[in-house]
Structure 1
Amino acid sequence: MEPLQRRMTIMLCGVFLLLGLIFAFNQLKTFMIKHFIAGMGLPPATVSTLVIANAEWQPKLTSVGNVRAFRGVELSTEIGGLVQTVPIKSGQDVKEGELLIKLNDASDVAQLNSLKAMSDLAKVINERDRQQLAIQAISKNVFDTSAADSKSKQAQVEQQTALVAKKNLKAPFSGRVGIVSINPGQYVNPGDKLLTLQTLDPIFVDFNLPQNNAELIQVGQEVEVTTDAFKDASFTGKITAVSPKVDSNTRNIQVEAQLANPDKKILPGMFANVNIKLGDQVKYLTLPQTAVTYNPYGSTIFIAKPTGKKDKQGNPALEAQQVFVTTGLTRGDQVAILKGVDEGATVVTSGQLKLKNGMPLIINNKVQPANSPDPKPQE
């Protein structure tokens, strides 16, 4: 029995020794793999970069508004009648007092001539009575009656003259007429809208600004206006009025600006983009907005920091370093950096979402993100 027990003991010891060797080998292998991976470091990331520099910005307020004619009205007649002549054409520029539409006034003119004749007769009779009163050939009562009759007849003439004038629709001010859809022979009723008349030079732009900007605006300030209709053109003008009242619903204040429009390109009703210049130009460090990562705990960027070593190509090796920055105003594709980075630093502009502190960088600037202060929509 003793030899059997000895063999069993030797066998168990051998099994435990084998298991121990296997466990030790696995532990050593895991340690060696971790050590090898740690020695390799983080894999490099390909990014695009930009050297941050100062740019001059014009402080300004922006808003959108509507174009309004300097003077604009829908013309109609006070009385009805048949249209006799329309001496104007669609889109024609007219002067103040120029005839636009003439209604048939033949019967009214005839009535006016009759009243003028009666008025002239009443004046002659009154003058004759004046002479007879001077020699006391008639009583004062007869003279007063003829004088009153003369004045009455003259008033009737003036009333009929005003009626005839109402049959002639004239331009109340200089401007451009709209589409003429009235034709001779057409009957119009009192109050019917017959024509639109707009003064296009100068022209107004109405826009709104938040109440907290009220102290920044004043009459005489320069504005720059652009429209979608003329993408490559801008129009300058000045603020002519600021509403003395703030809208209680929107808390906005209405502002009126006047622009010169000699070519009459800008038309009433157009949508307008308004920029109001505030003081002199200032310098800001600027970056593409895509270079900044916005987080609840703050805005960050990555800087390409030299490590002091060389890469495989012999160039200075770079690694990512995350820094917090304070951002300011935005303009187009750009954002102003107020604090957190110095001029001349190399900043990662794209590919930063995959970066970590200390990660090696490979720079590829063949493709850069949009970085225009005044981007234009692509056709």
Structure 2
Amino acid sequence: MRDIRKIGVAAVAALVVAAGVYWGMVRDGDPASAVPAAGRTVIVEAAPVQVRPVQQEVNAIGTLRSEDSIVMRPELAGVVTAIGFKEGQPVRKGQLLVALDGSIHEAELAQAQASLTLSRANNDRTAELLAKGAASQRTRDENLSKMRMDEATLALARARLAKTRITAPYDGVAGLRKVAVGDYVTPGQDLVTLDVIDPIKLEFRVPEIYLAHVAMGQTVTFQLDALPGQTFKAEVYAIDPQVDVDGRSLAIRARADNSGRTLRPGLFARASLGLARHENAILIPEEAIIPQGTDHFVYKVTGGKAAMTQVKTGIRRDGVVEIVSGLGAADTVVTAGQLKLHDGAAVNVRSASAD
């Protein structure tokens, strides 16, 4: 009796499971949600191939750099007597930035000038006496040498005095000053930075596999977290001849217009470098691709049937994939419902917006 009861319970359980499976197959009134029987039409979504230009891009992280950037430092020690710039404002080439006390150097210059005046007079007098035979050639040579030494001393005094006035070597923007009037500065001490920010440089790196695709003059678009919603353009002007052996990457620099001084050195940038451009590329939605190992397949709709077709892919961008071989411009591919298909299955194509 117990065996009969066990058999009855097992039979009821089997019926419940079978009913659940059947209900799952036909729920929502869509019998195609189950694996179709032979000869049954499968409802799928499909899209025609698009033919349009596509450009390969490589994304990278970069940093904005000044076109030129230097730190102004004195060559002589001295007391700051004047500051000739405003912080954060443009300066012109030759404009005074910092002046040091030059009183000692002015005195040295005056001393050198007086000594040179005397030595020139002595040299001229000796030359006249030598012509009359009243002086020796040795005396003439000594006076001439003294005059040359005094000329060099005068030039040195002038150079030292000139170095008490630190001027801008080119047009740029002054940074924040590190000193004030009255400070005593030493040789090599930081005074102020000077940057050229128009144009501004974008520096970034790309993997070495793109070496053959990178060229001078290519366009780079970039965005900044500091200025959301804005896109800027730059042009590649320099490619590092050496590949970084640690990161296996290639350093690239591009220039961007910054006439409004909106961009600032040091900003973090998200760059996109345009590489190869294909004018008549065959494009399909990314979801149409069926990967199998290292190969790629799609279901092509031909005469109301699905034909499994191997394809070779190319550029991938914004949810679309370039098909290098395997499809033509007039083909249509299945974009949803591939799991229910097999090669040669009859299909009923509906739009993606259908319920």
When normalised by structure 2's length, the TM-score is 0.73
Instruction: Decide which of 127, 133, 138 is 2:135's aligned counterpart.
Output: 138
Q: Which residue number corresponds to residue 334 of structure 1?
A: 320
Q: Percent identity?
A: 23
Change in CA separation of 1:37 and 1:60 when aligned onto 2, cut-off 3 Å? closer
State the 1:235 CA deviation.
1.5
Instruction: Decide which of 295, 320, 332 is 1:345's aligned counterpart.
Output: 332
State the 1:173 CA deviation.
2.4
Conservation of the 8 A alpha-carbon contact between 2:242 and 2:250:
yes
**Structure 2 counterpart of 1:173, one-letter code:** Y
Q: Which residue number corresponds to residue 177 of structure 2?
A: 180
Change in CA separation of 1:282 and 1:183 when aligned onto 2, cut-off 3 Å? farther
Distance 1:62 1:146 in 2: 73
Shifted more, 60-69 versus 356-365: the winner is: 356-365
User: Is 1:76–2:55 an aligned residue pair?
Assistant: no
Distance 2:231 2:219 in 1: 14
Distance 1:333 1:363 in 2: 18
> What does 1:43-58 align with in structure 2 at a 5 Å threshold?
43=31, 52-58=49-55
Q: What is the root-mean-square deviation in Å for CA atoms of aligned residues?
A: 4.2
Distance 1:91 1:185 in 2: 21
Distance 1:97 1:292 in 2: 64
State the 1:179 CA deviation.
1.8
User: Any stretches of 5+ residues in structure 2 without a counterpart?
Assistant: 34-42
User: Is 1:161–2:161 an aligned residue pair?
Assistant: no
Conservation of the 8 A alpha-carbon contact between 1:176 and 1:200:
yes
Question: Secondary structure of 1:70's match?
Answer: strand
Instruction: Decide which of 284, 292, 310 is 2:282's aligned counterpart.
Output: 284
Instruction: Decide which of 74, 87, 96 is 2:93's aligned counterpart.
Output: 96
Q: Which residue number corresponds to residue 222 of structure 1?
A: 218
Instruction: Decide which of 116, 120, 127 is 1:119's aligned counterpart.
Output: 116
Aligned residues: 324
Larger-Rg structure: 1
Residues 30-64 of structure 1, C-alpha deviations (whole Å, 9 max, x = no match): 7xx88x95996854669987555333212344433
Q: Which residue number corresponds to residue 365 of structure 1?
A: 353
User: Any stretches of 5+ residues in structure 1 without a counterpart?
Assistant: 1-18, 309-319, 368-379
Question: Secondary structure of 1:59's match?
Answer: strand
State the 1:89 CA deviation.
0.8
State the 1:244 CA deviation.
2.8
**Structure 2 counterpart of 1:329, one-letter code:** I
Conservation of the 8 A alpha-carbon contact between 1:59 and 1:282:
no
Q: Which residue number corresponds to residue 236 of structure 1?
A: 234
**Structure 1 counterpart of 2:168, one-letter code:** A
Question: Secondary structure of 1:124's match?
Answer: helix
Distance 2:260 2:282 in 1: 37
Conservation of the 8 A alpha-carbon contact between 1:75 and 1:197:
yes
Distance 2:281 2:287 in 1: 21
Question: Secondary structure of 2:153's match?
Answer: helix
Residues 165-220 of structure 1, C-alpha deviations (whole Å, 9 max, x = no match): 221111222222212242111222221122111222333333333333322233x3
**Structure 1 counterpart of 2:234, one-letter code:** T
**Structure 2 counterpart of 1:100, one-letter code:** L
Q: Which residue number corresponds to residue 340 of structure 2?
A: 356
Change in CA separation of 1:56 and 1:276 when aligned onto 2, cut-off 3 Å? closer
Change in CA separation of 1:297 and 1:280 when aligned onto 2, cut-off 3 Å? closer
Distance 1:170 1:297 in 2: 64
Q: Which residue number corresponds to residue 251 of structure 1?
A: 248
> What does 1:10-49 align with in structure 2 at a 5 Å threshold?
43=31
Question: Secondary structure of 1:58's match?
Answer: strand
